[in-house]
Amino acid sequence: MTLITGLDHLHTTNTLTLEQLQPCFTSALTTCATQRAPWPSLFPFAQQEVQAFAKLSQPLLTLVSSDWLTSQLFLQHTLADFKPHTAPLYLLDQTAGQAGYFHSELTVEPGRYRKQSKAVQDTINDHLGDHEDGDIHAVAAKRIGFLESASRAQLFGEVYNGADGTLQLKPGALACHLGGILVVQLPALLEDPTLWQDLKRCIESQTISWHDAVCLQPPKSPLPQGRFAAAIKVILVGSREQLAELHHLDPDAAQNASMFTELASEVRANESNMPAIQDFICQIAAPFSVSLDLPFLNALLQHLSQLREHREYIKFNGKYLQRLLGRLCLDETPLTPEKLQQVLRQIRAAMTLPQKYSDESIAEQQIPISLTGNAIGQVNGLSVVELDGHPLEFGEVFRVTAAEYLGDGEVIDVERKADMAGNIHSKSMMIVESYLSQVFAKKHHIPFSANVVFEQSYSHSEGDSASIATYVAVISALSQCPVKQTVAITGAMDQQGHVLAVGGINDKIMALYRTTQVCQLEHKVSVLIPHANLINLNLDSDILAGVAEGKIDIISIGHVSEALDLALTEHQGWQDVYARIKQRFKSLQDDDDETLGSHWDWLTKWFR
């Protein structure tokens, strides 16, 4: 028997229990029931960087975050002790000389310039040049401000004509936060690149110009020339994708960002973090005036963990949590796990039209999926369907078939040949062929080739999660051992035959269980998943009920040989399957040798 790399590290196949299919946070919640910690402590490095930014002279900080609300609450808490080191701010409208903003520790009475004390006039002249007159207005300078959707008027202000014909300026957010910190969401700057260029110029030069403001009407007198000094500190908030787009529009933007930090969109839900997580949930829930008991918090964390697809992490997004709690609080009934599940079903049901059409096509046998009996060279695979413009991804069962014929050991991927597959998919098919050669072609050439088809696949295929299903289908075709159609398989593989983790594992398991319901099956089905995906399991209560009732088994595997043992029939183990294939190869080679020998005998007899 040929040595198969990696078999020394096999783990025992494992039929999973209910405890392995959904995490439980009750213990961590109970342990921390009387404890509270400020939730920004979940991001200590980001806290340190923001606090350092407030103290240093750097004018720009980039904060990578996918959620504006979470960023806003985080910065409000982290900068709670921030105090601008600037004097009160005033605005001088132009009548003569340079108009603009100035700081003064002296007592300034809003009104005419010429009515101010000489000391105040000297301060104004030092800031803005010599003046003869003008109107002075106090500007309500703010410590920290947030612009979620910045326009030019909101950012730089507005210029208009006063009743007496003088230019008037309505300060923008940038002017109102001179000496403070202005937090700007990035998408608004991407919509109007000129807005970013003007803001960048202000940040780099630490000056403001009246020419950046919006003129609501043609000014009756010329706008003041030049720029006046201003202490500007800005925090840009956006996702990685938005930041990459900004760098694409302005390659110099990365160099101008003197400081950088980020907020993760997920956090580990362990006992040490649980007090801070509870603090965050309670802060978001406070406006709704609702009671959050232990069972509800556990169910909520299970849902957030399911969104993250990780048993030890939860999705950390204030906006999503706010919307969900708002939906739950449409009526005044208490928040319970049952109510949460009901609302989540309603939300999902509103987005399942494509999934419904997919299920109907299987029920009507438009797409023939068999979950009964046995078949040679046919395996039920599992995929995740992503539709452009649709928020919901859903799992789907599909057929992988393999047909063998005399050849040279090549595994021909029809999807790739038809230009219907991506690079990752193509790579996975090459790995299947490579491992097949390692097992059977170290001493002799493989005398067969095989075509592999994803049946009724009409869209672009991508990913490597069908690798194990493909390998099982090819081995079934070569050995003529049937595949159990009650088994579905998902998993990637490496060149040693180890089963690797895949994405969307919960959606894929749900797809198989949903198909059994659509087809009204009464017998048990099984799904083989990578052992490495155990950390990602977080299944709905419907599937948990199906497992408890014995309708579906979820089995983890670590090597392709385990998939052969579980998926193929009419054999005595994967060694027997491989032995049959080798015997088939040998029989074909013996036939070739016998044919060649008879031809040689005929030739020697002819020329004797």
How many Å apart are CA 599 and CA 593, to the nearest integer? 10
Strand extents, DSSP E, 65-206:
89-92, 100-103, 111-112, 135-139, 144-147, 157-161, 167-171, 181-185
Looking at residues 64-73, what average pLDDT do you find?
Answer: 96
Give me Rg for the CA atoms of the chain: 34
pLDDT of 65 reads 96
Note whether 437 and 450 are within 8 A (CB). no
Say which CATH class 266-349 falls into. mainly alpha
Tokens 């750097």 label which residue?
A: 58
434, two tokens = 């490579």
| d(C-alpha 401, C-alpha 466), whole Å | 11
Q: What is the pLDDT of residues 105-136, one digit of tens each?
A: 556 667 666 666 777 667 666 666 666 666 66
Highest mean pLDDT among 87-101, 241-255, 324-338: 324-338
Domain boundaries, the chain: 63-259, 266-349, 360-584
Beta bridge partners of 259: 61
Question: Whats the size of the chain, residue-wise?
Answer: 608
CATH, domain range 63-259: 3.40.50.300
Higher pLDDT, 421 or 50: 50
459 is catalytic: no
Q: Would residue 561 show up in a list of annotated catalytic residues for this protein?
A: no
pLDDT of res. 24: 93
Domain 360-584 has CATH 3.30.230.10: yes
**What is the spatial distance between Cα 579 and Cα 444, in angstroms, rounded to a whole number?**
14
Mean pLDDT check: name the lowest of 103-112, 438-447, 591-600.
591-600
Q: What is the pLDDT of residue 458?
A: 79
Which one-letter amino acid corresponds to residue 272? Answer: S
pTM given for the model: 0.84
Percent of the chain at pLDDT exceeding 70: 81
Catalytic residue among 65, 428, 465, 467: 465
Distance from first CA to last CA of the chain, Å, rounded?
44
Catalytic residue among 233, 315, 508, 582: 508
pLDDT band for position 219 (cuts 50, 70, 90): low
Residue 576: the pLDDT is 94
d(CA 482, CA 519): 22
Q: What's the burial of 83, exposed, middle or buried (CB within 10 Å: 0-12/13-18/19+)?
A: exposed
Give residue 208's pLDDT.
Answer: 79
On the question of a common fold for 63-259 and 266-349, the answer reads no
pLDDT of residue 600: 47
Beta-carbon count within 10 A of 214 CB:
16
